[in-house]
Amino acid sequence: MSSPASAPPAPNNLKRIVAASLIGTTIEWYDFFLYGSAAALVFNKLFFPDSDPLVGTLLSFLTYAVGFAARPLGALVFGHYGDRLGRKKLLVLSLLMMGGATFAIGLLPTHATIGTAAPVLLTVLRLVQGFALGGEWGGAVLLVSEHGDARRRGFWASWPQTGAPAGQLLATGVLSLLTALLSDSAFNSWGWRIPFLLSGVLVMVGLWIRLSVDESPVFKEALAQAESRKAEAEPMPLVAVLRHHWRDVLVAMGARMAENISYYVITAFILVYATTAADLSKQTALNAVLIASAVHFAVIPAWGALSDRIGRRPVYLMGAAGVGLWMFPFFMLIDSGEFGSLLIAVTVGLVLHGAMYAPQAAFFSEMFATRMRYSGASIGAQFASVAAGAPAPLIATALLSEYDSSTPISLYVIASVLLTLVAVGVAKETRHRDLAEPVASTGEAEKASAAPRKQGARSI
């Protein structure tokens, strides 16, 4: 007899949950990526005008990296309260924080108006963005994973992951449209503010949709069981994660290295490399990322569905190895200076990245028990971002400045791929796991899946 948590939900209800998670993550990633694109294109001139152009870009990317530094703190805080209070409440809060910070950036005076206070305020708002995003990802993927049909969890949980390319698509599309319609002077003067102010409208739409969905049934059942035995002291989710799931946290961090670093090299640093080393126009680089992001969006659910058939690990390993092999051809194509070659380089890179990103949501969710799942998945994902995505554009730009060559950048990405191959290679396959079962580690998960379940047994 299957448990209620394991039974497939009503299709319409699941689609509504997926839509709420997808729209919310799209808005949050739009806000986050918009900053990254603006950092590459205009922030170096508006907030660091006294610097050499490449040095100004480095300083601009440094404020971009600060947002990643706040993500682990967001993961800790949102993970703790998300495991105690529920996924939905914390997702609403993260959306409001991210949207508010992004809207405020659109109103921010530049260095020419208030001097050094401008980059300071920019950095503070970037910290708020990072804090909010640190809590967003874990809650969004868990809301879908814990509602979804276990047989197709990889497919359904991959849809919130499409929020990243959708947000990239939206941010790049708005910037591309503005740069096409406005002169450089108009864009640098006031046009860059429009995409940030647009975030206020998007947040209202996302908030309306997110408030309409139900809390995860797996979490509600786990919470009810925890409240029925209140006499027992329940450890803090963070303590429980570090005690029972520290190996899984390390696996998640290692798995994210190649995925995170390659993504920001392909989508953020590429705007610098294409316009400086390859002498392509800003509009050309934006258009390539725009089209490639649309393809990225389309392939992620397909990779997620494949992970339901052959497993999370094989798909993830395929993507990591593919990205490593693609790095040298990637830069060779861009160096040709042709739009078609640039488009192929970015598109293939993002398709291969999708093979890592798509199964990630289900893979990380299946590693942790319900009452520590938000904390575990968020900590593993966001702590890795500090060492991976945060410095990636910064390191890539510094390597380009120092060596005037793409070879060190390719080797940097390949080194991250090797770390990911080791981490995912030693992990256990999780695709058959029931999210309502208690599992203290991936090792115990394997034992639990091998042993026959007792009929009617329920656990958290």
Query: 412 near 264, Cβ under 8 Å?
Result: no
Quick one: pLDDT at residue 377?
85
Q: Directed axis angle between helix 117-147 and helix 87-106, to 10°?
A: 150
Q: What is the DSSP string of 395-451?
A: HHHHHHHHHSSSHHHHHHHHHHHHHHHHHHHHSPP-TT--TTS--SSHHHHHHHHHS
Angle at the Cα of 155 (from 152 to 156), degrees rounded to 5?
A: 85
Residue identified by tokens 């994973």 is: 145
Question: Which string of b and e fits 168-190 if b means at least 16 CB within 10 Å?
Answer: bbbbbbbbbebbeebeeeebeee
Backbone φ and ψ of 142, nearest 5°:
-70, -40
Residue identified by tokens 């999370």 is: 312
Q: Tell me the three state secondary structure of residue 363.
A: helix
Q: Directed axis angle between helix 11-38 and helix 153-161, to 10°?
A: 30
- The pLDDT averaged over each successive group of 10 residues in the chain (460 residues) is 45 75 81 75 76 65 74 86 80 86 90 84 87 82 77 90 87 83 86 89 80 73 67 66 84 95 90 86 85 94 96 97 97 94 96 96 87 83 83 89 93 97 94 70 44 39
Quick one: pLDDT at residue 116?
80
Give the separation between CA 343 and CA 362, rounded to whole angstroms.
Answer: 30
Q: What is the DSSP string of 320-357?
A: HHHHHHHHHHHHHHHHTT-HHHHHHHHHHHHHHHHHHH
Q: Which H or E element spans position 193?
A: helix 193-210
Quick one: pLDDT at residue 460?
41
Query: 372 near 241, Cβ under 8 Å?
Result: yes
Give the separation between CA 454 and CA 229, rounded to whole angstroms.
Answer: 22
C-alpha distances in Å from residue 423, one per residue of 382, 392, 416, 441: 16, 19, 11, 15
Q: Directed axis angle between helix 407-426 and helix 312-335, to 10°?
A: 180
Q: What is the DSSP string of 408-424?
A: HHHHHHHHHHHHHHHHH
